[in-house]
Amino acid sequence: MEEHLTVGRVAELAAVTVRTLHHYDEIGLVQPSARTAAGYRAYSASDVERLREVLAYRRLGFGLREVADLVGDPSTDAVAHLRRLRGLLLEQRERADAMVAAIDRELEARAKGMTVTPEEQLEMLGAKLYDAIGGAYPATRRTDPRIAAQIWDALGDAETVLNVGAGTGSYEPIDRDVTAVEPSAVMRGQRPADAAPCIAAAAEHLPFEDQSFDAAMAISTVHHWGDPIAGLRELRRVARRVVVLTFDASSRGWQDRFWLTRDYLPEFAGVLADFPALPGMADAIGARTEPVPIPWDCADGLFEAYWRRPEAYLEDPVRRAVSVWTRVGPEPERRAVRKLGDDLASGRWAERNRELTELEAADFGLRLLVA
């Protein structure tokens, strides 16, 4: 007879409450396969294994629905879960290390009575990543006219526009008075000479009075902010209208929307583990949301841009211009590229994604928030 652990013992070992375990049972997340003679829940070795996965994903910040999808995926066995968890934890550790290092540098500077520049203060909040990878950005990242038309339409009749997380200036309308905000010196340095003036600051602390602009826009940047909700509220504070292009990582099964995440790079889910759900972001600024379809020949090399041109993902410059690839780490990147290359060569990719060749544009979860 297989050995079972009582619910009390499992709770003690896992450092969670019995109530949590009862809840997981009730919602079908971890259902113990047996009962003791007295009718108490009893956990088998495989129940414990599933619980361990659930708790580990929870600790990494995944929501209960996302965890249910992750552990319910029949194609992921225990070893694959362990590998994925390991990768996610290493990534989290790297981020924490980078933040600790930035804090140490700032503490040291302050102790010496030195002034800390805006760049130095923002290092830990994301500018650092773009100072490291931003040089590769202009190779493939530029304004796509169809996405731009949707953004500019949402800006309405705004004459003064603040572009936050502006990068190299993509999507900045040329017929309005634009002010840009960008924390990374490397990105600021790559703005064209005739681009709008750009200020070194971060979304979470915008150096402007309330209602200074007709509109504020933030394009493909919110997922980089240290505190997305605080940043969105800042946009709301300084502008009468807010337009944000972001990503819906909250609908059920979102990881399966795009074949690249579904079949080759499941680690992308970990990159967005701390990212707020779309309804929460919309609520923070009182926004409505609209889907932003990606044209099959999208001019802006964003992560999903090459959904109908899969060979592009085999090219290094294409990947280097998208932070996701750096954030998942070199091992998942190598594995994804190798597997995709194999599937393209064998015809497996084409077989699996036949329906895409018919489409001119597709929805992969990009959303415009308009408030």
Q: Tokens standing for 53?
A: 């996965």
Query: Nearest Cα to 70, choosing from 273, 247, 304?
Result: 273
- In angstroms, give the least distance from the CB of 51 to ligand SAM: 36
- In angstroms, give the least distance from the CB of 256 to ligand SAM: 23
Q: With respect to ligand SAM, which residue has the nearer C-beta, 67 or 281?
A: 281
The answer for residues whose C-beta is within 8 angstroms of residue 281's C-beta and 6 or more apart is: 222, 228, 229, 232, 244, 246, 287, 369
- In angstroms, give the least distance from the CB of 134 to ligand SAM: 6
Name the residue with tokens 């010496």: 112
State CA 73 to chain mean position distance: 21
Supply the angle between the helices 45-59 and 7-14 in degrees, to the nearest 10.
40
- In angstroms, give the least distance from the CB of 131 to ligand SAM: 8
- In angstroms, give the least distance from the CB of 198 to ligand SAM: 10
- Looking at beta carbons, which residue is closest to ligand SAM? 167
Q: With respect to ligand SAM, which residue has the nearer C-beta, 221 or 261?
A: 221
Coil, helix or strand at residue 359: coil
Query: Nearest Cα to 98, choosing from 73, 66, 132, 68?
Result: 132
Q: With respect to ligand SAM, which residue has the nearer C-beta, 4 or 224?
A: 224
Q: With respect to ligand SAM, which residue has the nearer C-beta, 204 or 214?
A: 204
- In angstroms, give the least distance from the CB of 57 to ligand SAM: 26
Q: List contacts with ligand SAM (CB under 6 A).
A: 125-127, 130, 141, 164-167, 170-171, 182-184, 187, 202-204, 219-221, 224-226
Q: With respect to ligand SAM, which residue has the nearer C-beta, 57 or 137?
A: 137
Name the residue with tokens 């280097």: 320
Query: Nearest Cα to 165, choosing from 136, 132, 206, 208?
Result: 206
Q: With respect to ligand SAM, which residue has the nearer C-beta, 130 or 306?
A: 130
Q: What is the DSSP letter of 314?
A: G
